[in-house]
Amino acid sequence: MQSSIFLLTNESGSFGSFVRRFGFCAIAKCDLRAKDNKQMSDTIKLVIAGLGLVGKRHADAIVKEDDIDLIAIVDPSEDAVNYSNKNNLPIYPSLEDMFLKELPDGVILATPTPMHAEHAMYCLNKKCPIMLEKPIATSSEEARALVEASEHFEIPVLVGHHRRHNPIIQKAREIILSGEIGQIRAIHANCWFYKSDDYFEIAPWRKQKGAGPISVNLVHDIDLIRHLCGQVESVQAQCSPSIRGFENEDLAAALLKFENGAIGTITVSDSIVASWSWEMTSKENPIYPSTSESCYVIGGTHGSLSIPDLTVWTHKEKRDWWKPITSASVSYEPADPLQNQLRHFLNVVKNNEKPLVSGREGFRTLQVIEAIQKSALTQQSVKVET
């Protein structure tokens, strides 16, 4: 999908340079639609831009909500046209065309990653809150400009790191914050799976540089690790080129140093047949086969926690490797995180809640991803900018 208006380019390094280059007066002059919870209808109107795998999941989630209406699709593809015809929805080839006819309360941007910054800034220019799929942008420069615009004009951006809305992660964070496992000292995360050739053939952009598993998949895991364990201070990384001959990597590993002194290790590959990934262990999305394995292990001074099975290991007596160690599984109430995220976006649009994963949080996660990519390229330790 391509908008005919380019508000942000790779030359824009910050909101300040964006304003100097293009001006941002359109935000002040655009239609002042009612966005506060006193004026807004109980039912909010959403538009989905990008009807790929994730976009369709968002559409399915909206159908389940009585107080959210999907009023249009933005996507020029034949598949999207067929979907809109089947569901009697207006469809537009670009955001520009859509905003000429529609007045949404919010837009869900599920377009390919290289288009995120441009499309997000266009929606902000229309004073329209957005839920933006991860990663927030292809570069921290683009992300910084987007975040600064969002914060300056108080237009909310919710980044689609939907796993934070999973009750498993909410319970894991509760366990960690309670002090049950003590001070976090180490983390290990696995993100291994095998994507079929068809996955790449139906969307050739997935073969391109910048669309490898570091940015497309690992960004989710890094976001969760930051959410659970704190800010990453520096990284050392290695990666290997795609064994299938694509422009991007298909294997990477990183050593993470946290501001709190903890150390983490993480590996990702989309060309390894394995069961150790969030997709195949969390039972979050029924499209993936489920296993009884875990993919994250977090170690503390008083215990350890595996995720997503939420098993806590502790010494009931003295902390001593010669003493018995016991395990206990923590219960939780299952719920669809994508549905939870959508409900949260409804409240963000109504100004009832602040984004759980704000644009700035998405920006900070992207900074870690960039540090991993840079370290793998330079073979040096890279400090994460704060």
Cβ-Cβ contacts under 8 Å for 276 (sequence gap 6 or more): 190, 191, 192, 293, 294, 295
- To 5 degrees, how large is the angle CA 262–CA 266–CA 272? 165
Q: Are 100 and 1 in contact (CB under 8 A)?
A: no
pLDDT at 121: 96
Contacts 24+ apart (CB under 8 A), 95-100: 95/3, 95/49, 95/119, 95/122, 95/123, 96/3, 96/4, 96/5, 96/122, 98/47, 98/49, 98/72, 98/74, 99/126, 99/128
Q: Are 46 and 69 in contact (CB under 8 A)?
A: yes
pLDDT at 7: 32
Domain annotation for the chain: domains and CATH numbers? 15-163+341-355 (3.40.50.720), 167-334+367-383 (3.30.360.10)
Distance CA 369, CA 134 (A): 12
End-to-end CA distance of the chain: 33
Q: Are 157 and 146 in contact (CB under 8 A)?
A: yes
| pLDDT tens for each residue of the chain, 386 residues long | 333 333 333 333 455 554 444 344 444 434 433 344 445 678 999 999 999 989 999 999 999 999 999 999 999 999 999 999 999 999 999 999 999 999 999 999 999 888 999 999 999 999 999 999 999 998 999 999 999 999 999 999 999 999 999 999 999 999 999 999 999 999 999 999 999 999 999 889 899 988 899 988 999 999 999 999 999 999 999 999 999 999 999 999 999 999 999 999 999 999 999 999 999 999 998 889 999 999 999 999 999 999 999 999 999 989 999 999 999 999 999 999 999 999 999 999 999 999 999 999 999 999 999 999 999 999 999 999 87
Distance CA 173, CA 93 (A): 41
Q: What is the CB neighbour count within 10 angstroms for residue 61? A: 21
Distance CA 339, CA 324 (A): 41
DSSP for residue 231: -
Q: Are 156 and 26 in contact (CB under 8 A)?
A: no
Structure tokens at 252: 């990477």
Q: How many CA atoms lie within 13 A of 179 on its CB side?
A: 0
Structure tokens at 78: 């034949």
DSSP for residue 331: P
Q: Are 227 and 219 in contact (CB under 8 A)?
A: no
Distance CA 107, CA 243 (A): 37
pLDDT at 40: 63
Distance CA 73, CA 65 (A): 17
Residue 157 backbone zone (phi > 0: left; psi -120 to 50: alpha; other: beta): beta
Cβ-Cβ contacts under 8 Å for 194 (sequence gap 6 or more): 270, 271, 272, 273, 274
